[in-house]
Every structure is written in structure tokens, then in C-alpha cells.
């Protein structure tokens, strides 16, 4: 199979994005973001979020999370997050290393934090023997493909702000969430009290490039220094900027995320005929979490690559991307049929 279902970062770069990179590949411009292309890209963000936001580009999603979160923390402070959060599971302890701060991971059944889940972990405030919670980090869409509704986010931000905490959103897949919710980015970030956003692009057709967006200028004060220390300040910034400029033009991002979400839904519908495959999460974006007989998963993995998600419970992750097609889904269905027959599951 030319395309498979391992991750939305296994896909390539959308040709329009490549064209945008090519188009700015001429002459000399000043480095480190002091150029016209970066200015234009920031204006695109300001159109989405309002003129009062501060926008900084980074190379990586991990880089956006780590530098964004670290920029508002003292080392004795802590970050509350879901146990499944990328910052907790998949960033090799980078937040802890870079900020010196502790993460407080909370178990969830669907990747979403709630005030009820957070509350028991907000304790020992003012007690010098305990790290002091300062940031709550949520992921949209979650690592389990579920999507926070604006009201769910508002409950968390209200609760946080009453306690002088800040809310960070890891939006590596924010475009998939916006398409699912069918509302502007702003309606489930700035408008509901999110303070800092890691805005993703790589998983939705960019070559590389993410942005840290601050919704309160006061919080952005130290960020430029932290980004540089965090090795996320691109000297040839125009090539990240050009990608984002193209990404926002004519809501191009929307077509890409819409495709990924729709194909994921199609795959979810098509696997309904297999009684031995069970979805463990609602399909709200571009990922499926499926429980399969282990022997079937292994047989499929001999042919195509996908990740084990929860090995002890035989749960696997299938992701769709901006370029996944219905034909890819049909090839996957045929493969499942063939392997399942061979294993006498059907």
C-alpha cells in the first residue's frame, strides 16, 4: 500500500505548500522572522484570532509545547495534563527537562480532562514540599481522537483562572477539531479562555511548522528568549511563514482536515461488518482506536505499518491524513478480509 494508516505525519507535503515554499525561495531576506513573509503569515493568524494575539513560529510540535509551556513556568511549578497527553507520553520528558517543572498526569477514559478529574490533584497549595500547579494542558483533538466541545473547555479555563492557573492547548490537530466542531478556531480557544495555544500544521499538509499563540500579551513577554534557548527560532523563518500563509488562504487547511476526518469516518463505517473489530473511542476526527484479535493485528502488521496503542488490551491506532483516500480504505478492508479468513475469524 502506498499510503497506510500509521500516522498523519507519515503523509507528505501538500503540493500547494511546496509551491508556497518555492515561491519565497528567491533573493535574500533578513533572517529570524524579520521579513515580509513572516509578517504576512502572522497577519493570517491575526485574522483568525484577532489583532491582539502574539504569534511565534516553531519547527516542531514538541518544540511549541515545550517552549510555550516553559515560558510561563517557574521550575517549582507543575503542569496538570491527561496521562495520554503527548507532553507526558511522547516528548521524552522534554517539558520536565527544559522547564525543570513536574508534570501531573491524570488518567482519563477518552483523553479529555474535566474539572472533576483535575480537582483532586489541585492540592498542597502554598506547601513548599509540593510542586505548585500552574498550567493545565489539554489537547485538541485529544491523543485519542476525541474533541473537546467549547463548553467543556470553558469549564476548565474558568476553574483554572479562579485559581490563578493558566490553560495551554496542544493543538497539533487543531484543524481536525475545527472541522469536526464546524466553528472557527477562535471559538474554542481564545473565546473560551485558553491562554496559550500550540497551533499545529505538520499533521495537516505542511512540511514542518507550528506556532505558539499567546492570547494575552503579558504572557508572551519572555517567550522570544525561551524559543531561542529552546532551539525553535528558525533563521530561515520565511519557509515556515510561507507555508502558514498558504495554509490559511481560502481556508485551504479546512479541505485537508475535512478529507482526513471524512475518510476516518468512512473507515469506521466500513469496519462495522467485522464483529471482531471494536472501536474503543468515538470517531470525532481523523483517528480510529480499534480493539482487534492480536493474531489479526500481527497479520496486518506484516503487510502494513500501524502503531500498537494499548498492547495489554489489544488496542491499535489507525490514522487518516489529508491525502488518505476511500480507495486506501477499501484496500485496508480487503486486507482485513483476507487475513481474517486465513485466521478463520470469518
Candidates 55-63, 126-134, 160-168, 260-268: pick the segment binding ligand PLP (CB under 6 A). Answer: 55-63
Of 54 and 143, nearer to ligand PLP (C-beta) is: 143
The CB-side HSE value for 274 (13 A sphere, CA atoms) comes to 26
Q: What is the DSSP string of 250-319?
A: GGHHHHHHHHHHHHHHHHHHHGGG-TT-EESS---SSEEEEE--HHHHHHHHHHS--EEEEGGGTEEEEE
* Closer to ligand PLP by Cβ: residue 89 or 269: 89
Q: Comparing C-alpha atoms, which of 5, 16, 48 is closest to residue 256? A: 16
d(CA 156, CA 195): 12
Q: Which is nearer to ligand PLP, 202 or 243 (CB)?
A: 202
Q: Which of 54, 57, 61, 212 binds ligand PLP (CB under 6 A)?
A: 61
CA–CA separation, 44 vs 88, rounded Å?
Answer: 31
What residue number has its CB nearest to ligand PLP? 61
Q: Does 286 bind ligand PLP (CB under 6 A)?
A: no
Residue 283 C-beta: closest distance to ligand PLP, Å: 17
d(CA 169, CA 193): 11
What's the min distance (Å) between Cβ of 142 and ligand PLP?
A: 8
Q: Is the dihedral of CA 247, 171, 92, 304 positive or negative?
A: negative
Nearest to 11 by CA among 205, 173, 172, 144: 205
Nearer to ligand PLP, 62 or 321 (CB): 62
* Cβ distance to ligand PLP smaller for residue 54 or 91: 91
Q: How far is the CB of 309 from ligand PLP (least distance, A)?
A: 12
**Distance of closest approach, residue 65 Cβ to ligand PLP, in angstroms:** 6
Using CB under 6 A, which of 41, 53, 60, 194 touches ligand PLP? 60
Scanning 56-64, 126-134, 244-252, 303-311 for contacts with ligand PLP by CB under 6 A, the matching segment is 56-64
In the complex with ligand PLP, the residue whose CB is nearer, 122 or 145, is 145
CB atoms under 10 Å from CB of 265, counted, come to 17
Nearer to ligand PLP, 60 or 165 (CB): 60
**Pairing outcome for strands 315-319 and 54-58:** unpaired
Give the integer Cα–Cα distance in Å for 318 and 270. Answer: 13
Q: Smallest distance from the beta carbon of 87 to ligand PLP, in angstroms? A: 8
Binding to ligand PLP, residues 158-197 (CB under 6 A): 170, 172
C-beta of residue 13 within 8 angstroms of C-beta of residue 205: yes
CB under 6 A: which stretch of 44-52, 60-68, 181-189, 295-303 binds ligand PLP? 60-68
Nearer to ligand PLP, 86 or 339 (CB): 86
Binding segment (CB under 6 A) for ligand PLP, from list 38-46, 54-62, 310-318, 336-344:
54-62
Q: Is 55 helix (H, G, I), strand (E, B) or coil?
A: strand
- For the chain, the C-alpha Rg in angstroms (whole number) is 21
Q: Give the residue, chosen from 86, 134, 155, 168, that forms a contact with ligand PLP under the rule CB under 6 A.
A: 86
Site of interaction with ligand PLP (CB under 6 A)? 60-62, 65, 86, 139, 143, 170, 172, 202
Amino acid at each position: 500500500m502506498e499510503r497506510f494508516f500509521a500516522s498523519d505525519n507519515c503523509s507528505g507535503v501538500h503540493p500547494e505548500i511546496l509551491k508556497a515554499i518555492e515561491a519565497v525561495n528567491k533573493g535574500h531576506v533578513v533572517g529570524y522572522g524579520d521579513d515580509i513573509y513572516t509578517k504576512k503569515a502572522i497577519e493570517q493568524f491575526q485574522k483568525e484570532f484577532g489583532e491582539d494575539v502574539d504569534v511565534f513560529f516553531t519547527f516542531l510540535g514538541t518544540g511549541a509545547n515545550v517552549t510555550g509551556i516553559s515560558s510561563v513556568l517557574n521550575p517549582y511549578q507543575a503542569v496538570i495534563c491527561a496521562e495520554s497527553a503527548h507532553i507526558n507520553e511522547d516528548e521524552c520528558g522534554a517539558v520536565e527537562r527544559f522547564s525543570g517543572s513536574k508534570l501531573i498526569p491524570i488518567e482519563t477514559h477518552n483523553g479529555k480532562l474535566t474539572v472533576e478529574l483535575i480537582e483532586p490533584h489541585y492540592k498542597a497549595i502554598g506547601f513548599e514540599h509540593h510542586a505548585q500547579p500552574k498550567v493545565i494542558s489539554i489537547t485538541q483533538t485529544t491523543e485519542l481522537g476525541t474533541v473537546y466541545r467549547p463548553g467543556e473547555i470553558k469549564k476548565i479555563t474558568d476553574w483554572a483562572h479562579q485559581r490563578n492557573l493558566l490553560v495551554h492547548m496542544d493543538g497539533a490537530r487543531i484543524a481536525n477539531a475545527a472541522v469536526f466542531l464546524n466553528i472557527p478556531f477562535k471559538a474554542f480557544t481564545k473565546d473560551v479562555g485558553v491562554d496559550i495555544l500550540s497551533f499545529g500544521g505538520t499533521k495537516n499538509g505542511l512540511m514542518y511548522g507550528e506556532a505558539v499563540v499567546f492570547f494575552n500579551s503579558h504572557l508572551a513577554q519572555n517567550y522570544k528568549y525561551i524559543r531561542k534557548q529552546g532551539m525553535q527560532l528558525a533563521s530561515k523563518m520565511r519557509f515556515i511563514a510561507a507555508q502558514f500563509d498558504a495554509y490559511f488562504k481560502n481556508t485551504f487547511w479546512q479541505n485537508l482536515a475535512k478529507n482526513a476526518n471524512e475518510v476516518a469516518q468512512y473507515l469506521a463505517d466500513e469496519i462495522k461488518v467485522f464483529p471482531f473489530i471494536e472501536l474503543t473511542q468515538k470517531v470525532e476526527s481523523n483517528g480510529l482506536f480499534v480493539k482487534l484479535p492480536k493474531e489479526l493485528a500481527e497479520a496486518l502488521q506484516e503487510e502494513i505499518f500501524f502503531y500498537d496503542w494499548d498492547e495489554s488490551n489489544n488496542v491499535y491506532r489507525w490514522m487518516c491524513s489529508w491525502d488518505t483516500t476511500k480507495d486506501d480504505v477499501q484496500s485496508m478492508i480487503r486486507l482485513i478480509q483476507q487475513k481474517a479468513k486465513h485466521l478463520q475469524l470469518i
